[in-house]
């Protein structure tokens, strides 16, 4: 019953956030964790996310994939604690189902994330927080489950080698990032170098209360949030707080890189790009709005108009920036018939070159602003979306009123801003180009 109720509540939108300021409370917990709270009493549900600097950029080069598999195995069971018996992965899954709640762990490029979702009926929420804390304090790290999961991952890796997009994406990342951790790839040798002892060491080093960022969105007040944070952080406070080494910046490209890769496939893969921008770039909004016009706006983008609509060279073509704590990639991509790959590439390059030199038209900019501003409410219309936004505010050190001023920031962007930002960040004559499967 509670599982069904939780699923229904997850679909409830929160239109109030589109009409009023979003009050984000922020304080430091005694453990050193940074806490961010948005009270949303309209539905009896609470979402909690704990983010830590333990994403794949922290993987040792010889153990690429360590952060991700550590997160996966964290939910595979808990060890016995005092009078509480051990729970294997099936028993743990059943315990969460009985509560109508969920707890998970994941690792992205930068973050090791823990997430808890529960209804806020007091008896349910207390038990859910207690179970989450137990899971954080005493993961079982079952070797048999890791051996099974590693075999599954190796099989998936082998299958992925038959896909042209796998080879194109790997070549592109290698050329854009070089030796930077953003570009590391999980392979059979790196998986073979990982054991449960390595996972435990990684977990204890990176998942520490003093480095945690805790975001809560839902039907709780500050006193309730403080109790939840205290219980969760107590589970990982004994891990200590070892200083982590600085992650280097992504090096700019010294010259253009051209790769033509033979591959027998029905569609050729074309990728073009370079290191782009970090999330704290002062031109984030001009680059964001400009990219919507260039290739992020789907069927209304310049690239789609020129490559698909006018010439029929590809069903879809896109561009995007992937900003992080360091400069993530700017990437343009398309698939096309192998005999049309060079023509499609030439058109796409010409569109980017012209956009960097001239920028958008005023009509394009006004249409982009109208779409982005009118669609802003959909970015924060649920607890989950609001949680993601607040977590990003915390992670990247954005102002607490960032969401309140988002539409104004978009409205302030001018064609001159976009032209200046793109000319500063993109170098069309010094990009990576990967064409796989052309004839």
Q: pLDDT tens digits for 111-142?
A: 999 999 999 999 999 999 999 999 999 999 99
Write the pLDDT tens digit of every residue in 189-247.
999 999 999 999 999 999 999 999 999 999 999 999 999 999 999 999 999 998 999 99
pLDDT value, residue 10: 41
CATH 3.30.830.10 fits 2-239, yes or no: yes
Checking if the pLDDT of 31 tops 50, the result is yes
State pLDDT tens for residues 241-253. 989 999 999 999 9
Please give the helix or strand (H or E) that residue 224 lies within, else none. helix 222-236
pLDDT in tens, 44-99: 999 999 999 999 999 999 999 999 999 999 999 999 998 899 999 999 999 999 99
**36 falls in which pLDDT band (50, 70, 90)?**
very high
Question: Residue 380 in contact with residue 403, Cβ under 8 Å?
Answer: yes
Q: Which two tokens stand for residue 245?
A: 């080494």
Following DSSP, what letter does each residue of 30-56 receive, concatenated?
Answer: TTS-EEEEEE-TTSSEEEEEEEES-SG
Under the banding of pLDDT at 50, 70 and 90, the label for residue 21 is confident
Same fold, 2-239 and 257-436: yes
User: Which SS3 state, helix, strand or coil, does residue 370 take?
Assistant: helix
CA atoms within 13 A on the CB side of 163: 10
CB 271 within 8 A of CB 332: yes
Quote the percentage of the chain above a pLDDT of 90. Answer: 94
Among residues 178, 184, 180, 324, the alpha carbon closest in space to that of 248 is found at: 180
Residue tagged 């109720």 (tokens): 5
- Measured distance CA(22)–CA(99) in Å, rounded: 30
Length of the chain: 439
Residues 6 or more apart whose Cβ sits within 8 Å of residue 420: 283, 286
* Burial status of residue 90 (CB atoms within 10 A of its CB: 0-12, 13-18, 19 or more): exposed
| Sole residue written with tokens 């499967």 | 437
Collapsing DSSP to helix, strand or coil, 221 comes out as coil
Residue 273 has pLDDT above 50, yes or no: yes
CATH number of 257-436: 3.30.830.10
User: How far is residue 221's CA from residue 214's CA, in Å, rounded to a whole number?
Assistant: 14
Residue 8 — pLDDT band, cuts 50, 70, 90? very low
Q: In this structure, are residues 290 and 359 in contact, taking their beta carbons and an 8 Å threshold?
A: yes
Coil/strand/helix, residue 196: helix
Q: How far apart, in whole angstroms, are the C-alpha atoms of residue 141 and residue 77? A: 7
Q: What end-to-end distance do the CA atoms of the chain give, in Å?
A: 57
Which tokens belong to 417? 């801003």
* Tokens matching residue 302: 């310049």
- Distance between CA atoms of residues 227 and 126, nearest Å: 10
Mean pLDDT of the chain: 94
Of 55, 57, 53, 45, give the one whose Cα is nearest residue 9: 45
Map out the domains of the chain as residue ranges: 2-239, 257-436
**88 neighbors 221 (Cβ within 8 angstroms):** no
Give the integer Cα–Cα distance in Å for 294 and 305: 10
Confidence tier at 20 by pLDDT (50, 70, 90):
low
How many angstroms separate the CA atoms of 330 and 55, rounded?
20
Q: Express each pLDDT in 380-434 by its tens digit.
A: 999 999 999 999 999 999 999 999 999 999 999 999 999 999 999 999 999 999 9
C-alpha distances (whole Å) from 5 to each of 50, 120, 155, 356, 437 are: 24, 12, 37, 50, 49
Residue 85 φ then ψ, to 5°: -75, 160
CB-CB contact of 38 with 22 (8 Å)? yes
Which tokens go with 288?
Answer: 């964001």
The answer to whether the beta carbons of residues 364 and 293 sit under 8 Å apart is: yes
- Choose among 201, 213, 239: nearest CA to 73: 201
Report field, pTM of the whole predicted structure over 0.75: yes
Taking residues 253-277, report their average pLDDT.
Answer: 97
């Amino acid at each position: 019953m509670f599982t069904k109720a939780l699923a229904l509540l997850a679909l409830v939108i929160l239109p109030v956030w589109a009409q009023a300021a979003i009050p984000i409370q922020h304080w430091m917990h005694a453990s050193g964790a940074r806490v961010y709270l948005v009270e949303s009493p309209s539905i009896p549900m609470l979402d909690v996310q704990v983010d830590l600097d333990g994403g794949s950029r922290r993987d040792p080069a010889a153990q690429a994939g360590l952060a991700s598999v550590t997160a996966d195995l964290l939910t595979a069971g808990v060890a016995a604690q005092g009078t509480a018996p051990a729970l294997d992965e099936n028993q743990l899954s059943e315990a969460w189902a009985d509560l109508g709640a969920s707890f998970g762990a994941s690792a992205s490029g930068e973050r090791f994330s823990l997430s808890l979702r529960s209804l806020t009926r007091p008896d349910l929420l207390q038990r859910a927080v207690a179970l989450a804390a137990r899971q954080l304090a005493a993961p079982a790290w079952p070797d048999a489950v890791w051996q099974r999961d590693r075999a599954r991952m190796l099989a998936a890796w082998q299958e992925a080698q038959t896909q042209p997009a796998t080879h194109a994406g790997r070549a592109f990342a290698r050329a854009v990032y070089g030796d930077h951790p953003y570009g590391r790839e999980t392979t059979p040798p790196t998986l073979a170098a990982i054991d449960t002892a390595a996972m435990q060491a990684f977990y204890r080093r990176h998942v520490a209360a003093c480095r945690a960022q805790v975001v809560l969105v839902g039907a709780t007040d500050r006193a309730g949030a403080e109790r939840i944070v205290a219980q969760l952080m107590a589970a990982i406070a004994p891990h200590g707080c070892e200083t982590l080494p600085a992650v280097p910046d992504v090096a700019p490209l010294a010259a253009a890189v051209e790769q033509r890769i033979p591959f027998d496939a029905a569609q050729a893969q074309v990728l073009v790009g370079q290191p782009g921008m970090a999330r704290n770039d002062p031109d984030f909004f001009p680059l964001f709005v400009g990219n919507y016009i260039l290739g992020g706006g789907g069927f209304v983008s310049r690239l789609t108009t020129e490559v698909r609509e006018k010439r029929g060279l590809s069903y879809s073509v896109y561009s995007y920036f992937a900003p992080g704590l360091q400069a993530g990639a700017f990437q343009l991509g398309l698939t096309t018939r192998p005999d049309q790959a060079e023509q499609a590439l030439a058109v796409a390059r010409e569109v980017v070159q012209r956009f960097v030199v001239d920028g958008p038209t005023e009509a394009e900019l006004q249409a982009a602003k109208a779409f982005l501003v009118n669609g802003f409410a959909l970015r924060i219309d649920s607890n989950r979306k609001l949680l993601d936004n607040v977590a990003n505010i915390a992670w990247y050190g954005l102002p607490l009123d960032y969401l309140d001023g988002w539409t104004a920031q978009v409205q302030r962007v001018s064609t001159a801003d976009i032209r200046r930002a793109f000319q500063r960040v993109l170098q069309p004559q010094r990009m990576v180009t990967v064409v796989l499967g052309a004839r």
